[in-house]
Structure 1
Amino acid sequence: MTQNVDPLSTEVNVPLRAVVGNRELALHAVRETLRPGALDLPVRWAHVSELQDPVPYLVGGELILTAGVNLPERIDRYVRGLRDAGVTALGFGLTPNVHETLPEPLRRACARHGLPLLVVPTRTPFLAVNRAVSVALTEASQREQRRITAAREALTRAAGGGLGELTSSLAARLRAWVALVGAGDVLASAHDAPSPLPPQVADLMATVRAGSGIRSATTEVGDEFVVVQPVYPQATASHLVVVGRSRRFDGADRAILAVGAALLGLVGRAGSDAAELGAAATGLLLDRVSAGEVARELLGSDRCRLVVGAPYRRGPDEVAQRPDWLRARLDTPLVQVLPGPRFVAIVGPAVPELEDLRAHGWLAAAGSPVPVARPAAAVAEAELLLSRAQVLGRPVVAGSGPPDFDALLDPGASRGYATKLLAPLVSLDRGDRSLVLTLRTWLAHHGGWEPTAAELGVHRNSVRHRIAQVEKALEVDLADPEVRMRLWFALRWATPDAHGEAYSAVGRRMTSR
């Protein structure tokens, strides 16, 4: 088995037989230099070189043309170097007063190393060979573009029929078997694919999942060529497209596969999300499942994180504000976009890529992992982390940075302390004074009146008045850094359950402003 991982390529080429078969050129292929399949090798360009060592200037796939003006004495070394550089064939031009016949050492060396050797007759100038290859490449490019365009239109139409129809359409366009493989190597959709997939294919899928970027991997399994690549929109998506057939995949095939992978990723994700959310809503409405069971099923884990986001600088554009865009980036169907704009999402225990969100106008924070049955317990922490992120101008994740001393404390005792300390403010907030919210924002901005007022959308004198009410209600002096520290951690440890409906109202105001 051979295996390689490389970027998707749409480079145009023509088979060597298309050049050899051009009657106007009258080329003669030396039979003993042609190994099985040699005439199917790709030609990407025809290049004239009289250098004794042209290898440093080659990229592979060339038809090298030479009249043997500087043919080196060590012919065997010269031929071996061309073969190792990936040259498709060597065209030797018969030229009066230089080489009127094909040198036997060159013939023997090409036969020994399996480098196809073409004899170019005297009447055929190298320029004619160059022009013929160029014309063939142009025609091949036009054919490929027409084929890619037709395939794109057909696959787009098939996408409207769902995952199964799209898979079958992709298989027909590539004349190959196709499998869409999800996390845990579970078969999500297939057309004529072997079941189970060969072990070599599983190894190839592991190779792709371990990589980064949009890449494809190819391998040979018996007499078949197999290609694996991730679906879109995520290059590191858990779902992979696997295709196999008896012929190699050319540039047009790979371009069609890229289109199919993109559509499979979008259709598969949309269909999966809709079906899973529909089933979850039905179960909840019929009181057959709990919210925790629904979250566990959707996230595939007993733990989850709460991710909250607010605009960064100019904020997200119209596309980045769409729930489906956020679902794809955060890899969760549990996303809600709120006015402001703001968003809140429940994700799995793994930390999502928050820097990518910032690049698209979202500043986000991720809370600590909590049981899927109690995501509301993470609201206070996530909102405090978001305030910290807004002050720092970068994403914040719970537990990142220095070791977190929360692990040293009993969670029940911490929540009890927070509930007792903040109880006077929660009681006053039943009159919609927003004291908890103001205190949290003021502490996040290190006691800055102007930035606190700007974030809350009120006058700085209103902030001063509210902070004075906080000091009076709690009987504390907020100029004392020890007091500020205790209150900050009380806000962090607080939960909606600890404060009842009043704190829940504050939480809703936090996530909707």
Structure 2
Amino acid sequence: MSLSSNVAAPAVPAVLSIARILELDVVRDGDPEVLGGAEALMTPVRWVHVSETSEMSELLAGGELVLTTGMAFGDGGEDAARFLAEVRDAGAAGLVVELVQGASPHADAAITALRRAAAGSQFPVVLLRRRVKFVAITEVVHRMLVSDQLSALERSRTIHEVFTALSLEDAGEKDIVARAAKLIGAPVVLEDVAHLVLAFEDTGENQAELLTRWTERSRRVGYLESTGRGVGEENWLQTPVGVRGQRWGRLLVPGALVDDDDASMVLERAGQTLTIARLAGRDQLELLHQARAGLLHELRQAHSLGVEEVLVRAMALGLDEAAHYVPVVLRVDHRSGQGPTGMQLRERELLDVLLRVLDSARATGLAASLQSGQVGLVLGVGAKQLEEPLLERIFRQLASEQAGVDWSVGVGHGKSTVKDAAHGLDEAAQVAEIVATFESRSRPFYRFTDVRLNGLLALLQHDARVKSFAEAELAGILDPPDTAALELLELYLKHGGNKSALARTGYLSRPALYARLEKLEEKLGVSLDDAESRTSLHVAVQWYRLGKTR
């Protein structure tokens, strides 16, 4: 039996809330009474903290349930309100106080003061009217927190394995939607952009009720470009399906859910699987992409293919014979938190748009994915002098057809044969990697002559001699690291060593700036007025920053 066919319904535990903790036997033994914030008892608890001090701001990180015996309330309970306010302001999830009525006059006064302070509060305050062992509460709660985290990790792994298996099995839309519904434990519907239902799974509910007036109801659910609940009359959880700019549908859960986060994780992974399945369904185009990628990879290796043989194979894959060929690499920017699947989808989207632009420009080219996040292109040009205008036209149009330019373009030296041009893809890839480190990209494409010093340093990035030189130049501010000093040095070098120009930027007052620069000189052991020192430092800083961004 395959992995994807044997999956249980959702097993992720509920969020560990204050209400859930109050149901524990070890807490119920304390006869809990909610004094305030009853409507906020579903607040999640991140940890449990025992404290008898009023100094809470430095002790809490946020989300803790604080346990106390009220020792900080004062003999007459006069500090109860202040303690409660400090706990709340420190970001705690709630407060549990153990005070036994009649145990002492101080306890009675503290209870009275606590009731008064908690009355009408939106912050959860719970009174334990019998003695309990706080260590027993913390032990049980912390064990639950760890167990919940392990369950969540296991759940995430299971979801990943299920949809990976579905992709490997070439599952269709109906199977993918059915598995998503089973994982979520709620109905899931796949619709196209016209709100027509492509596939659905009702999980045992009435099908007629689920799909009644579907188009009308679905139109009231605003579209989103990411997973979430849209603004609209029908506030359903949804995720888009299809590559960005070419969305062909979306997945929806038409109803309420116990856990939106878990359902969102399932929907998102299902949406990615559907997208990949649809892309993989383009059999002929997919085979063509693979064949082109195979030829480019082969040409980048040291194989003994003849020039004519390479041309014949390239022409069979759609590249027309031309007088001049140019190697180009497009590098997709990495996004924080994005996994391999997301990068694959963005890379494929860029390749599809590039092919459309080439067709629109009536240009001939051999384009394919080189590796994760990189698209390679051998572009045919009618004559060498036409290379620049053709590149300008293609990549300006490519930029205009995408919502945001999140890729960089490197161009290698043009050659008279496809074989020689393909060897230049490595050079183009290096340029694209360097350009990806730039703060801004004013040109539609770059060559090594455009990246200049950064290009040289990129080639020498792993040269031990350059490394030793740069580290020696910056030793005074890198060992130990001094971020402020490094930033000041970069600004100073950026202004060509002109202190007055640097001061005019509003960075610091002149006296303060000059004092900082003198201290910087002491750390570096050189004079910043010396041109050779500034040049050496500039090379060292550029090398250091290039290494930090790669």
TM range (shorter): 0.3 to 0.5
- Higher relative contact order structure (alpha carbons within 8 Å, sequence separation ≥ 6): 1
TM-score (normalised: structure 2):
0.45
TM-score (normalised: structure 1):
0.47
